[in-house]
Amino acid sequence: MPCRTIAVANQKGGTGKTATTLSLGIALAHRGKRVLLVDTDPQGDLTKSLGWADPDSLETTIANHLGAVIEGEGTDPREGILSHKEGIDLMPANIELAGMEMPVLMAMSREQLLNVWVSPLKGDYDFILFDCAPTLGIIPVNAFVASDSVLIPVSVEYLPASAMVGLLNTIGRVRRQINPTLSVEGILLTLFDSRNNLAHEVEQTIRDQYGSAYRVFDTVIPRAVSAAEAPSVGASIFAYDGRGKVASAFERLAEEVVCRG
């Protein structure tokens, strides 16, 4: 099976993007898939959520690799990859990535830098997931160029129309100009509270507005206290509350993702 690369992105914060990247990755690993998670957010939330509480102390991160590509240095793309006890690998990020914005913008083939780094790794993995920062800047665009598809987590706590339009327009521009095979993996509804009427209204609105053009996953990720607590102890939802409703939902999501392939 060829490696599938998926960017997990939404320019709106608070949508469960990092939790989706982490939990989907581990759920795929439960299915015997070789998975690499790539943190491309300078805040390093994915790195912290997997137990590396001080990303700034890490010697090698994605920023180092982007810098090496810009300078044309022949470094090992595997350098700095961390192995996690739950069966996935991680390329971490820290605040140094914020300092890469300008060098990336000034680089030749600036949208291709992440793709240049990750391409040699595709033979080692079945899935590579990029956790994108909540912007539509040059580094998330790099993730789109390096990906086969974009998975869009959307919180059902608000109507996300304007953010969705901007993100989908950016995906469309990347497809037309740089990566013609880029697709939308699907729209994932997150932080769903079944007791909340607004949540049901937002779900129906998204399915009505976008369901004819894009896949809206059948799986809905529920809101749960355990899901909010797990990152603070550096554990996945599977390690923290493996029999809970959120873990079960991500197992179903992984099945939908695998079946599409």
CB 41 within 8 A of CB 18: yes
Could you give the C-alpha distances from 204 to 66, 97, 195, 207, 228, in angstroms and in order?
41, 38, 15, 5, 25
All structural domains of the chain with their residue ranges: 4-260
Both tokens of 102, joined, read 């300008």
CB contact at 8 A, 82 and 92 = yes
Structure tokens at 192: 């769903």
Q: What is the CATH number of domain 4-260?
A: 3.40.50.300
With 0.75 as the threshold, say if the pTM is over it: yes
Q: What is the per-residue pLDDT across 131-164, written as a single tens digit (0 to 9) for each?
A: 999 998 999 999 999 999 999 999 887 665 567 8
pLDDT in tens, 158-197: 665 567 888 999 999 999 999 999 999 999 999 888 888 8
Type and span of the H or E element at 172: helix 161-177
